[in-house]
Amino acid sequence: MNQQAIQNAIANGKTVLGIEFGSTRIKAVLIGEDHTPIASGSHDWENRYENGVWTYSLDDIWNGLQDCYRKLSEEVLNNYSTQLNTIGAIGFSAMMHGYMAFDKDENLLEPFRTWRNTMTEEASRQLTQLFGFNIPQRWSIAHLYQAILNQESHVKEIRFLSTLAGYVHWKLTGQKVLGVGEASGMFPIDSTINNYDVTRIKLFNEMVKTLDFDWTLETILPKVLTAGEAAGTLTEPGAKLLDPTGNLKAGIPFCPPEGDAGTGMVATNSVAQRTGNVSAGTSVFAMIVLEKALSRLFPEIDMVTTPTGKPVAMVHCNNCTSDLNAWIGLFQEFTTLLGVEIDQNKLFELLYQKALQGDADGGNLLAYNYLSGEHITHFEEGRPLFVRTPESRFNLANFMRVHLFSSLGALKVGLDILFEQEKVKVDQVLGHGGFFKTRDVGQRIMAAAMNVPVAVMETAGEGGAWGIALLASYMLNNAGGEPLEAFLNKKVFTNQNGKTITPDPKDVEGFAVFMERYKYGLAIERAAIDSMK
């Protein structure tokens, strides 16, 4: 779109706004009629640890949102000389899961408990057993049941339970709703009806019946909507909350609020069956859209859905590149000692590229990147390790290669359940995150680990705010009822540039050899945790 076309779109409300609350940043992206970002704004924030709870205050939420929107609207005015008074549609997303409980007067009963809290182990275990369905500690239902087990007095006063995305949407529109992908991180979803699993709702209600609450689970959970459905409009009070200047007009339609997993799928065009995406940075998770349900419960696999309700298997690992980054920091410290000035990005590129020169299996070296615990391999704590034998081929290329391998080791353990035990088929995986920043290297290593073609698109860096903007555009512009995957393929990603790397058989074989070493060596990691305090 040219400058004049963008100005006309802004003035006539033909733009679409997406805002996502990430763990460290709130980001807003305004897109034009061609779905290209035309303006953005952001606000940095951090959770705090208070009274044993990782949380953000309500002031954090609203001050951060207003600052983010203000920066976006200022950029629109500065770049296009047009005041942002109306928008075609708006969508909100946020980090999934967590616990926000409200009473009959709409007061928050307890400080917001984010996904990061690991205080629900007993609830998670009991609910998983009750439902025959994996309930991770970070899920909303686990937080609710743990509060019941703890006999917390606020539970009897609950009249509405939601996530961060659902809370913000409610306050701006008055609608207590969630997109099905976000709802799937609150409570198990039945993808045949795109709603909460009725049988498991009954099991929960029956379990707590003797406690005589004035609510049942279905009365306090948000209504579930799928992508494309209308989810309310911006109210007058909501417009003032979002834009205290009063420039933004009420009446703007909203799409269902979604979680960051769902918006990541949309932003990487990974919502169709037999597709998937991998986000690899500080942590790593893979999401694979399934053709059918898994045969049984696997505690290593989280089951969520796409924004249209298709079942998705998620493998989530706490550790990815943090230990690798620390080693590169050590190398940079050495270059500084030598008096050599080298840009950190250049150093990353040089060392990552060096890894491609290593032996296929990493030269019989072994590393564990566990800065924190890793549930997939059953470690409650972490001890980063590097191990070799006297016969190992210890050189820089193998050293870098094995640390890149280690970044994906726990992920591979989870993926093997899907690919080997469950015979899940995937045609292509879309990669995004810092692991893929150095051209070709991260893709090649990931392709070796997954034995699947890995693509990285130029737009992958736009992130979840762009993803929720696309969902808002889908709601606004899809009167014909076109499936979401068709809408994305035809109207968003047609001209997107990217690169796909297919697995090299030698790399695949080398990674498999490394993984045998990795699994045998887990006893070394256990000994380090037990011995090094």
Domain spans, the chain: 269-319+412-505, 322-407+506-531
Closest CA to 1 of 31, 26, 34: 34
Question: What sign for the dihedral angle of Cα 518, 441, 429, 382?
Answer: positive
- Assess contact for 468 and 409: CB atoms under 8 A: no
**440: phi then psi, degrees, rounded to nearest 5:** 75, -30
Quick one: pLDDT at residue 460? 57
Instruction: Report how far residue 416's alpha carbon sits from residue 164's, in angstroms, rounded to the nearest whole number.
Output: 33
- Assess contact for 73 and 40: CB atoms under 8 A: no
- Assess contact for 166 and 176: CB atoms under 8 A: yes
Instruction: Report how far residue 295's alpha carbon sits from residue 316's, in angstroms, rounded to the nearest whole number.
Output: 19
Quick one: pLDDT at residue 87? 97
| Rounded CA Rg of the chain | 24
Tokens standing for residue 54: 């990782």
**99: phi then psi, degrees, rounded to nearest 5:** -150, 115
Number of other residues whose CB lies within 10 A of the CB of residue 493 = 16
Quick one: pLDDT at residue 496? 72
For the domain spanning 269-319+412-505, the CATH number is 3.30.420.40
Number of other residues whose CB lies within 10 A of the CB of residue 126 = 17
pLDDT along the chain (533 residues), means of 10: 90 96 92 94 93 94 98 97 96 95 98 90 96 94 98 97 98 98 97 96 97 96 97 98 97 97 91 91 90 89 95 92 95 96 94 97 98 88 95 98 98 95 93 87 96 84 86 89 92 84 97 98 97 91
Quick one: pLDDT at residue 305? 95
Quick one: pLDDT at residue 293? 82
440: left (phi over 0), alpha (psi -120 to 50) or beta: left
Number of other residues whose CB lies within 10 A of the CB of residue 360 = 18
Quick one: pLDDT at residue 461? 57
Quick one: pLDDT at residue 117? 85
Q: What is the largest CA-CA distance in the chain?
A: 71
- Assess contact for 102 and 159: CB atoms under 8 A: yes
Closest CA to 443 of 96, 433, 517: 433
